[in-house]
Amino acid sequence: MEIRFLFFSFFIFFLLSCEENDSFYFDSVNGSDQNPGSKELPFRSIEKINDINLKNNSHIYLSNGSLFKGSIKLLNKRNIMITNYNEEEYENKPIIDSKGNLAGILVENSSFTNISNIQITANGGNESSKPHKLINRDLRAGILYIVSDKNTHKNFSIDNVIINDIFFYDEGFKRNSNEVRTPNGNGSYGWGIRILNLSDSGNLENLTIKNSIIENISHSGIRVKGRLDNKFKNVNVFNNKLIKTGGPGMVFNSTYNLHAYANDINFSGSPDDSRKWGRGSGLWTWGSTLGLIEKNKFQNANGPADSAGCHIDFNCKDIVVQYNLSKNNAGGFVEILGNNYNCSYRYNVSINDGYRIKGKGNNFQEGKSFWLSGFVGNGNERHGPYNSYVYNNTIYVNEDIVSKIAVDKNSKGVLVANNIFYYKGETAMVLGDQYKPDTGGDGSIENVFFENNLFLKDHWPKEVLIQPIKSVIGDPFFKNAGGELISDYFPLNIDLIKDKGIDITNIVNDSIGLRIGLKVDMDILGNPIKNMPDLGAIEIN
């Protein structure tokens, strides 16, 4: 069964749970807090929500064209909807300005909550007016969802929301230059959407974030953090656009059954405001199981470390990265850390990833086109990754970039096949240089299959612990080599590419392969795969 069929529809649950509801209307221009809150006589301020004894099954309507200052808090509620009205009269979505508050919308221990068609901003204000008692660090968020009790909550949905300019500190604040060298930053930040499990046994099932824009955030755009021993279940994130986040675009920590698709993430790790962290991959997972990351764009990730298009951090199982465009990301393309099992990059196009140079500026980690790292946290002995599958990717790197490769000697089980490695410039072996650098040295890796790949030149670094055999050397004659689009990497050298791939089978001693299957039916452009697969990410039909 494909991963997408494991997701439950929020709207089915919503309709099944609907009962007679109370509706409250808010209009900051024409309303009054002395009104009854009806559509004809709306309230003026969202702070009135705290005075009206909001019950389960309530609908909150915010008028387009309104600007509300403050915060909405939903604690221990069920079946609450927050959305807009007056679209026919005002074009702009209602705005919540939560400057100085913990969050524009705080939802805690609540089920069947739907937020849609609004905008949230919070540009500074320093200390939160009412920080959360379970969070040991000040923060600010556009939307913050917290599990703090022992119950399993269900169905939290965000749709067509704009979140922009979320900062904890006021303009002009400057961070210490060493802050970006810490794993996630030690200071206070603004976050776009944060989903947190702060309980011992509670959980959230069925999270959907879709069709939203998150822009100019001081740290992560979307950050989901469950518990390693109690993962958030059924996380569905799609059709979102994230621009200039100071940290990663998206982080999925301790999730089970993740589907992140059709998102456009650009300029993660942005350093354009001194309040930003200035480092971050487009997307990364940690401690997650069963994830499908597909049909996304990861572009222009920045930072002195990490900052790949999409990387798989440690403690993950069954994460598949497929059908994505990864372009101009400082940290690189393939990055699989330690204690990861049966993860894969397949049918992606990578353009000029991994250009970062260690020691230049504040950079303390090399950019890498291909990196298998055994890192599992500071002070811990390296091990893995285990059974990594990298196949049918098209990797283009121009002549101005040294394509750097790192493979940790603790890796076990590696398959690299049917890829096009179009390295125009030099290549180099480098050590894995997460916080505790790899010591390097001689070693051997068990169960390696590195065959049937196309190289522009025979210059895979000889020092790397996995070496290609039965390679093809030649020029695929891309339609527009160096271009910005996936279609630019359509290969015109039919005789060299077409049907020259091999069927992908399990790595020796791996009984699992990929849980969603090793065989795919289509390429990155949706073309069907007929006969034998072609080399690279694009089929010639």
CA 439 to chain centre: 30
Q: pLDDT value at position 173?
A: 95
Using a cut of 0.85, tell me whether the model's pTM lies above it.
yes
State the Cα–Cα distance between residues 396 and 362, nearest whole angstrom.
26
State the Cα–Cα distance between residues 126 and 113, nearest whole angstrom.
28
Q: pLDDT value at position 129?
A: 54
Q: Which residues constitute the domain of residue 465?
A: 281-541
Structural domain total, the chain: 1
Domain annotation covers residue 511: yes
Domain annotation covers residue 45: no
The neighbouring-strand residues paired with 208 are: 157, 236
For 340-366, b/e burial (b = at least 16 CB within 10 A) is: bbbbbbbbbbbbbbbbbeeeeeebebb
The whole-number average pLDDT for the span 395-408 is 98
Q: pLDDT value at position 103?
A: 95
Mean pLDDT of the chain: 94
Domain annotation covers residue 180: no
Site of tokens 């452009």:
525
Checking if the pLDDT of 14 tops 50, the result is no
When comparing pLDDT for 283 and 13, which is higher? 283
Q: Which of 273, 235, 48, 102 is nearest to 158 (CA)?
A: 235
For 489-510, b/e burial (b = at least 16 CB within 10 A) is: bbbeeeebbbebbeebebbeeb
Q: What is the pLDDT of residues 37-69, one digit of tens each?
A: 999 999 999 999 988 889 999 999 999 999 999
Domain annotation covers residue 399: yes
Q: Lowest-pLDDT range, 132-146, 212-226, 441-455? A: 132-146
Give me 440's structure tokens. 């390097």
pLDDT confidence bin for 438, thresholds 50/70/90: confident
Share of the chain above pLDDT 70, in %: 95
Helix (H) or strand (E) holding 36: none
Domain annotation covers residue 305: yes
Q: What is the pLDDT of residues 442-472, one digit of tens each?
A: 788 999 999 999 999 999 999 999 999 999 9
